[in-house]
Structures are given as C-alpha cells and as structure tokens.
C-alpha cells in the first residue's frame, strides 16, 4: 500500500473516535476509509514512554507493516503506541493491524 503522512491536527482528531478504534496488546489502531487518492498514515508515541531510538524503531516497524498491506480501498490509519507496544515485533504488529474490522471488508 502506498501512503502519505497524516499530519494535520483535525485529521488526527477525526480518527480518534471509538468506532474506528481497535486495541490489542496495548497498541491502538484507528482506521477509517477516506476518499483520497492515497492512504494516509499517522504514528504517535510519546517521549514519556520511550527514548528516541525506541520511538524511531517503532515507527519504522509500523511503516514496514503498512507498506505490506494489500487492499484496494484507501484508508486513514492512526497508530498510538506506548511502552508495551513499542516492544512488539513486526509480525505481532502486522497481525494486530490486519485484524482491524475495516481492513477485513
């Protein structure tokens, strides 16, 4: 899947609703269909939970997983991480993201 950055504050706020949320192993994934040409990805992990090296490793893993997703629909994806979710492997992250109800359609 090709994606661009989800970088506007109101885009993040639109996604942070319970009906778009899926939580597993302390990783919150918000996915909503959009009407854009490309999918958009936003990743958030606070500096309170991890140092810069761990945060960047977590972001690289998320991006790698999203690139591997094969879907015909364009979606907005927001991933919220914390201390526990930053320790997840790439395979665990992939299982969590692919188990979101929006991607199962």
pLDDT at 91: 96
- 81, 70, 64: which is closest to 104 by C-alpha? 70
**pLDDT, tens digit only, all 105 positions of the chain:** 899 999 899 989 989 988 999 999 999 999 999 999 999 999 999 999 899 999 999 999 999 999 999 988 999 999 999 999 999 999 999 999 999 999 886
pTM attached to this predicted model = 0.92
Query: In the chain, what are the domains?
Result: 3-98 (3.30.230.10)
- 67, 63, 61: which is closest to 86 by C-alpha? 61
- Residue 48, judged by CB atoms within 10 A of its CB (0-12, 13-18, 19+), counts as exposed
Residue pair 43/59 in contact (Cβ under 8 Å)? The answer is yes
**71, two tokens:** 């879907």
């Amino acid at each position: 899947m090709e994606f661009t950055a989800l970088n506007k504050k109101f885009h993040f706020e639109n996604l942070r609703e319970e009906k778009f949320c899926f939580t597993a192993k302390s990783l919150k994934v918000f996915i909503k269909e959009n009407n854009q040409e490309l999918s958009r990805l936003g990743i958030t992990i606070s500096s309170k939970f991890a140092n810069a090296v761990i945060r960047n490793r977590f972001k690289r893993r998320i991006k790698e997983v999203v690139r591997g997703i094969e879907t015909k629909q364009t979606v907005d994806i927001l991933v919220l991480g914390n201390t526990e979710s930053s320790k997840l492997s790439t395979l665990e992250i992939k299982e969590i993201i692919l188990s979101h109800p929006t991607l199962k359609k």
